[in-house]
Structure 1
Amino acid sequence: MAEVLAATVVAAPARRPRIAWRFGILALVVVVAAIGVLTWDVPGAPGSRGFWIAVDLRIVSVATIALVACCQAVATVLFHTATANRILTPSIMGFDALYVVMQTALVFFFGSAALSATDGLAKVIVQSVLMVGFATLLYGWLFAGRRGNLHVMLLVGVVLGVGFGSLSTVMQRLLTPSDFDILSARLFGNLSNSDAEYLPWGALVVAAVLAVVWRRRHRLDVIALGRETALNLGVAYRREVVGILVLVAVLISVSTTMVGPMTFFGFLVATLAYQLAGSSQHRVVLPFAALLGAATLLGGYFVLRHVFYAAGMLSIIIEFVGGLFFLIFLLRKGSL
């Protein structure tokens, strides 16, 4: 059924040779950047025991970067499809603010020692379940009934995000300076916060979500045409949009619980993917966005770590560039 519906979509013809070349170049950049991060400036002779120990330690960083890039890029593209607006980002629904308020409340009630004492897979699972549960209840409630409206849902998400942010600010102001410093370090998106224990769990969840997304890629093309067109083509629009938003919540929860909030990275990668992919079809845009995200993070990580020796600044610089890009894009577009 999805294939039949997708055949009715009027889309710009994909220039396959050009797309293939761009895709191949991006894949090559990702491979070269990953090899560079793994092997550049490694102590010990290549092939020695010390060399492979260092490489094994760096594999965690590379795998985490690839996983986070995929989550952020795919989640943002899906969110744009569901909302029919390429300005918005998943953070508008308050996911980042919810993560911040959970971390802040933990320090506020139990002290900064609770952050390290509760670290582990159980804490990651609880945080992810709370974030996905919050999103599912919000979407299901606001889309239920005849008055279900996507714009109302987005507005409620913005209000909840502001409320969570205000609550976090109040609790942070009541913390001791030492507790506040420790909490602030956790709240910055930092790829060094990753843990090898989380990777198998995160990779399994993301792989399952990507499998579902890829299987429904043709329906996503129909949803992107708008509500009226999708309904006329026989798509259960509300159910599909709620399903897409739940998948977005899962991807964002995995990324946020692994490395912390990253507000504008997904927007930056998705917007560039639309321009460079040469096609609006999700079978092209989604892999392109994921590869572009991995190339951006891996390339930036390599340059900052081995050229400027400031690997911890990667997320800050990317968020700054992404925020600046967002403002420029918004001013050029003139509206949301």
Structure 2
Amino acid sequence: MRPDPRLVALALYLVASALFLTLGARGDWGFILAFRGEKLVALTVVAGAVAISTVTFQTITGNRILTPAIMGFDALYILIQSLLVLLLGGVGLTALQGPPLFALETAVMIGAAALLFGLVLRRSEDLNRMVLTGIVLGILLRSLSSLVARVIDPSEYIYVMVNSYARFNNIESDLLWITTIVTLAISALLLARARRLDVLALGRDPAMTLGLDHRREARRLLILVTLLVAVSTALVGPVVFFGLLVSAVTHQVAGTWRHTTLLPLSALVAATVLIAAQTVFERILSLQGTVFVVIESLGGLVFILLLFRRARA
């Protein structure tokens, strides 16, 4: 009998977490575990949010080569950082760090997504049109960010560059626990709607035949996905291709299309990959910073491979 992939992923997650907490530890264990434990929670929460939002978004759109980042959330986040540096300067942006900046970034991203979903899906149920609109808006936002970057003082543009990549150093505890609570609550809601996601995965017409209001359900789920992406991005920065990498691995090992398995499995796979990679990056290679740059590159390669596979099919 094949073991439950969720239990296997959970075991691997616990092993990766134990190694992250203890490998190379010297000195006061109370301080070490508290410091590394907070970072472990951040890695787990962000990985889970990215994975669950990606799997849900792919189910809604019926396309496994898409991620929520295609809607331009990363471009909007960078534009917010650029405008704040332009208006307040690097020192002003640093002073704004904490709950005020977190609330501002989250509110802007949620508001922009709600406006997009409301305008596009109100007149049509064509999710492909929504995705194309998001791609165009992402290009526009990146162009605006480039324009603002030309106006910013070069010495202060470093603040924008630092915030352009996901980071796990100096995460504020208050923001981490807010993000954790929101992520757990939304993940629970999505898991409770797993059967509806199973029906949505069949396509628009079969879902409506089975009595599901496709447009209403898609809009509700998109709002939940947006909340996950917004809080995780506001906490650590933009994540683009990591969800695609995790989704591809999850579908390969799941052995089922049921979301009661896919959603928790994707979160465990994402957390295990990110924690293991961060452990190797920090504890074995003794490199400072974050491993997200390397993982995002691997996710980009997966995206290209998936495109080639679809082209051959």
TM-score range, shorter chain: over 0.9
Aligned pair partner of 1:316 in 293, 302, 305:
293
Query: Does residue 129 of structure 1 match 2:112?
Result: no
| Alpha-carbon distance in structure 1 between the residues aligned to 2:216 and 2:308 | 33
CA contact (8 A) 1:72 1:251 kept: yes
| Alpha-carbon distance in structure 2 between the residues aligned to 1:257 and 1:188 | 11
Aligned pair partner of 2:85 in 107, 116, 139:
107
- The Cα shift of 1:174 comes to 2.0
Aligned pair partner of 1:68 in 32, 42, 46:
46
What stretches of structure 1 of length at least 5 have no aligned partner? 1-16, 45-49
1:76–1:142 CA distance, 2 compared to 1 (3 A): same
Secondary structure, in 3 states, of the residue corresponding to 2:26? coil
- 1:64-213 alignment, distance < 5 Å: 64-145=42-123, 147-213=124-190
CA contact (8 A) 1:301 1:311 kept: no
What amino acid does structure 1 have at the position aligned with 2:127? L
Cα distance per residue 1:155-198 (max 9 Å; x no partner)? 11111111110000111122222211222011111122522121
Instruction: Give the equivalent residue in structure 1 for 2:247.
Output: 270
Aligned pair partner of 1:56 in 21, 34, 40:
34
Instruction: Give the equivalent residue in structure 1 for 2:238.
Output: 261
Secondary structure, in 3 states, of the residue corresponding to 1:18? coil
| Alpha-carbon distance in structure 2 between the residues aligned to 1:239 and 1:312 | 42
Instruction: Give the equivalent residue in structure 2 for 1:10.
Output: none
What amino acid does structure 2 have at the position aligned with 1:308? L
What stretches of structure 2 of length at least 5 have no aligned partner? none
| Alpha-carbon distance in structure 1 between the residues aligned to 2:125 and 2:214 | 11
- The Cα shift of 1:335 comes to 8.2
Instruction: Give the equivalent residue in structure 2 for 1:223.
Output: 200
CA contact (8 A) 1:26 1:292 kept: yes
CA contact (8 A) 2:71 2:131 kept: yes
Query: Does residue 26 of structure 1 match 2:3?
Result: no
CA contact (8 A) 2:6 2:261 kept: no
Aligned pair partner of 1:300 in 249, 274, 277:
277
- Give the length in aligned residue pairs: 313
| Alpha-carbon distance in structure 1 between the residues aligned to 2:171 and 2:57 | 25
What amino acid does structure 1 have at the position aligned with 2:98? G
| Alpha-carbon distance in structure 1 between the residues aligned to 2:150 and 2:23 | 43
| Alpha-carbon distance in structure 1 between the residues aligned to 2:157 and 2:177 | 31
Secondary structure, in 3 states, of the residue corresponding to 1:266? helix
Identity %: 35
| Alpha-carbon distance in structure 1 between the residues aligned to 2:61 and 2:289 | 33
Query: Does residue 241 of structure 1 match 2:225?
Result: no
CA contact (8 A) 1:193 1:258 kept: no
What amino acid does structure 2 have at the position aligned with 1:31? L
Note the aligned Cα RMSD (angstroms). Answer: 1.5
| Alpha-carbon distance in structure 2 between the residues aligned to 1:322 and 1:250 | 22
For the pair shown, the structure with the greater C-alpha radius of gyration is 1
